[in-house]
Amino acid sequence: MSALLVVLEHDRGKWSEANDEALTAARQLVADMADGAELHAVLIGDGALDLAGQAGAGGAAVVHVANDAMLTDFGPEACGETVVQLAVAESVAAVMAVGTSRGNEVLAQVAARMDLPFVANCMTIAPGAGSWSMTRVQWGGSLLEDATLDSGDGPKLVTYGHHAVVAAPAAAPGAGEVREFAPTLDASLARTIVKDRDVQTAGVTLSTAPVVVSGGRGVGSAEGFAQLEELASLLGGRVGCSRAVTNLGWRNHTDQVGQTGTRIAPEIYIATGISGAIQHWVGAMASKRILAINTDAEANMVAKADYAVIADLHKVVPAITAEIKRRKGL
Amino acid sequence: MNILVCVKRVPAPGAKINVTDDGQSVDAAHLGFTTSPHEECALEEAVQIAERDGGEVTVLTLGPVEAEEQLRYAASVGAHKIILVPTDGSAWDPQRTAVALTQAIETAEAANGSAFELILFGNESADSGGFQVGVRVAHKLGRPIVNAIKGIVPGDGSVTANREIDGGFEVYEVPTPAVLGVKEGINLPRYPTMKGRLASKKAVLETAEIDAAAGGQTLVKLHRPPEQASNTEILGTDESAASAIVDILEEIGVLA
Ligand SMILES: Cc1cc2nc3c(=O)[nH]c(=O)nc-3n(C[C@H](O)[C@H](O)[C@H](O)COP(=O)(O)OP(=O)(O)OC[C@H]3O[C@@H](n4cnc5c(N)ncnc54)[C@H](O)[C@@H]3O)c2cc1C
Ligand SMILES: Nc1ncnc2c1ncn2[C@@H]1O[C@H](COP(=O)(O)O)[C@@H](O)[C@H]1O
């Protein structure tokens, strides 16, 4: 029986939220594959065994747990090689992951090693008898591409875009049969394994903040961001910015919202002095509500927002702060 | 340290991306072109390393002859050598691109008589975003690669590279010759100076005619995602809108 192998992620035994998306997408894909394919999952490295049950609950019939001294932390080459060996051993019909930073890198490694095509960041995938058809994202989501994937006799290699699929629990759990897998890894692959970690325990991050108050070129200076900082902190939120602002050196790139910055999903996004270029918009479009403050009524950000104030941000932002303080009795 | 940077010419769209009638490319009739942002940062990083530790920076692109514009720009911000692999302007799939770039790199290294100690890619290209060309090239060259890099410190026979993870970094120590996929934010790219602009006019453009077989990923058609219907409620045209705004903040429960 043919199989779809889904590559799951974890950090030293901590389940990644992307896995719920991966399993949701995999259940659908396996159902669409012609010959009643079986859903296999692979978990790699230290702590993987403890998560096998969760993969089974998510619908996996078989959960491969791969271990080797080289697989303690993430290493793109060692992980990629492990997946290749497993895919060959099980002669799987396809390998799939969610297109997180690691997911795309591991699949690229698999593709390079097997010399097979790899289609990244799909929205939908239609498996076929020979080639597969898919719609994938370009421009970080600003544009869609219909594509086909033909991999000859080899497995199909694909990722779904991160957040392209809404995670849902499995209607019924899979058999979840655990199989240990010991890859044969050449010592030279240790050249790309983690030597050290430098993790800051940040509070609310930009990607998880319930409120993001952003400024664009219209803020006019680095100092101009003080008023946005004040408003954001009153709302328990974070300050964001556009790439124009990062390029001007007014803010650090860690604050940048957009295609080459951070993707945010707050309850409300307050975008001030930002024109709403498409590359900025793709980072902000998952916001539940958007308030644009802009002097230009024609700005794209205004057109796309739920609410807008057509005025100078330097007048409106302090007025909002003052009104909040008044109501809070501060 | 001799460093090679691979960059891609991409259109610079504004509020909307339009597609040509045949659905094969972005309608760039009224657009300027630029280099993918991650790659601009990769180039800046290479130039900073060369300025500090010596060595030459070579920039390589595969694209239409017009991509000379991006190579000259690279020279204006500090690249020493520029190489173009010309195409007919159609979009090449990632496998085909990787085969041609690998061959161009091998040719350049043979001419230099030594390997580039470091080859930098962007983490992903801004337009097609295949997340793979760098990994494929590195594998063909038999060299290590790590992506999502936001910090590089050259060492003796190795480079220390910081990979971005949620809330921090993973640190890799990769033996050279090495390949890295760089992300925007690693540095702030400089603007060309007048002297740089003059130097870029004099830079010698090398071209390497290379073709490669099409890979297994084929573009059928580009299209725009469905427009989300938006009807913006205008809350006001001056600061008196503050009260209506705070009403909304209260209503959605973020004014705790
Ligand atoms: C491949 C690629 C990737 C990119 N990735 C990103 C990304 O990740 N994030 C990103 O943001 N951009 C990105 N960009 C850049 C993007 O195209 C725009 O250039 C950028 O977003 C513009 O920033 P801005 O809106 O601050 O500036 P502008 O476009 O200059 O807009 C400034 C706005 O401020 C308004 N304004 C001026 N004064 C005031 C005032 N006093 N009060 C109120 N409003 C005022 C103006 O009306 C205008 O709308 C990318 C570009 C490319 C090509
Ligand atoms: N046509 C090209 N010419 C030069 N470099 C390229 C080209 N296409 C992709 N690259 C490089 O490969 C990286 C990854 O591209 P991609 O696999 O398309 O996401 C880019 O950031 C570039 O550094």
Residue at B175 is within a domain:
yes
Kindly give the residue spans of alpha helices, DSSP state H, lying in B142-209. 194-202
**Residue B110 falls within a domain, yes or no?**
yes
CA end-to-end span of chain A: 67
Cα separation, A316 vs A227, whole angstroms: 10
The torsion defined by the Cα of A125, B139, B157 and B161, in degrees rounded to 10, comes to 0
Chain A residues near residue B45 by CB distance under 8 angstroms: none
Residue B159 lies in a domain: yes
* Pocket test residue of A270, A279, A290, A313 for ligand 1, highest count of atoms within 8 A of CB: A279
CATH code, domain with B39:
3.40.50.620
Task: Answer yes or no: do A149 and A264 share one domain.
Answer: no
Instruction: Determine, for residues B145 and A275 on separate chains, whether the beta-carbon distance falls below 8 Å.
Output: no
Provide the CA A52 distance to its chain's centre, in angstroms: 22
Predicted local confidence at residue A202, as pLDDT: 63
The ipTM assigned to this model is 0.96
Do the domain assignments include residue A203?
no
Three-class DSSP labels, A160-195: EECCCCCCCCCCCCCCCEEEEECCCCCHHHHHHCEE
Contact A27, A170 (CB under 8 A): yes
Per-residue confidence at A1, pLDDT binned at 50, 70, 90?
low
**Is residue B226 one of the residues assigned to a domain?**
no
Mean pLDDT of B48-54: 97
Residue A29 within a domain: yes
Picking from B223, B148, B229, the residue whose alpha carbon sits closest to that of residue A108 is B148
Mean pLDDT (chain A, rounded): 96
> What is the total count of domains within chain A?
2
Indicate the residue of B131, B215, B216 with minimum beta-carbon distance to A104.
B131
Question: Is B128 within the bounds of a domain?
Answer: yes
Say if pTM beats, i.e. exceeds, 0.90.
yes
Helix or strand (DSSP H, E) at A260 = none
B74 in any annotated domain: yes
Asked if A315 lies within 8 A of B246 by C-beta distance, the reply is: no
Query: Is residue A206 a part of any domain in this protein?
Result: no
- Enclosing H/E stretch for B190: none
Same domain, A175 and A304: no
Range of the domain at A165: 3-192
Any idea what the CATH number is for the domain that residue A219 is in? 3.40.50.1220
Question: What is the per-residue pLDDT across A39-80, written as a single tens digit (0 to 9) for each?
Answer: 999 999 999 999 999 999 999 999 999 999 999 889 999 999
Query: According to the model, what pLDDT value does residue B16 have?
Result: 86
CB atoms within 10 A of CB B224: 13
Same domain for A30 and A73: yes
Band the pLDDT of A34: cuts 50, 70, 90: confident
Task: Answer yes or no: do A39 and A145 share one domain.
Answer: yes
Q: CB–CB of B237 and A267 under 8 A?
A: no
In a domain, B136, yes or no: yes
For B15-38, the pLDDT digits (tens) are 889 999 999 999 999 999 999 999
For residues A231 and A261, membership in a common domain is answered with: yes
What lies within 8 Å, CB to CB, of A154 at 6+ separation is: A114, A116
A250 and A160 housed in the same domain? no
Look at residue A308 and tell me if it is in a domain.
yes
A141 touches chain B (CB under 8 A): yes
Answer whether B256 touches A (CB < 8 Å). Answer: yes
Say if A171 falls within a structural domain. yes
Split into its structural domains, chain B has a count of 1
* 8 Å CB contact between A43 and A51: yes
What mean pLDDT comes out for the span B207-223?
A: 97
- The C-alpha of B86 sits at a distance from chain A's nearest C-alpha, in angstroms, of 23
Assess if residue B246 is contained within a domain. Answer: no
Query: What is the band of B13 on the pLDDT scale with cuts at 50, 70, 90?
Result: confident
Tens of pLDDT, residues A215-234? 999 999 999 999 999 999 99
Q: Measured at the alpha carbon of residue B167, what is the angle toward residues B184 and A203, in degrees to the nearest 5?
A: 125
**A197 interaction partners in chain B (CB closer than 8 Å):** 165, 168-171
Residue A123 and residue A218 in one domain: no
Task: Tell me the per-residue pLDDT of A164-205, one tens digit each, with 9 for 90 and over.
Answer: 999 999 999 999 999 999 999 999 999 999 999 988 766 788
Whether residue A224 is contained in a domain is answered as yes
CA–CA distance, B26 with B11 (Å, rounded to integer): 8
Q: pLDDT tens digits, residue range B129-145? A: 999 999 999 999 999 99
Look up the domain containing B26 and give its range. 2-207
Q: Which ligand lies nearest the alpha carbon of A139?
A: 1
Q: Are A233 and A217 in contact (CB under 8 A)?
A: no
Pocket test for ligand 2, best of B7, B8, B145 (most atoms within 8 A of CB): B8
pLDDT greater than 80 at residue A20: yes
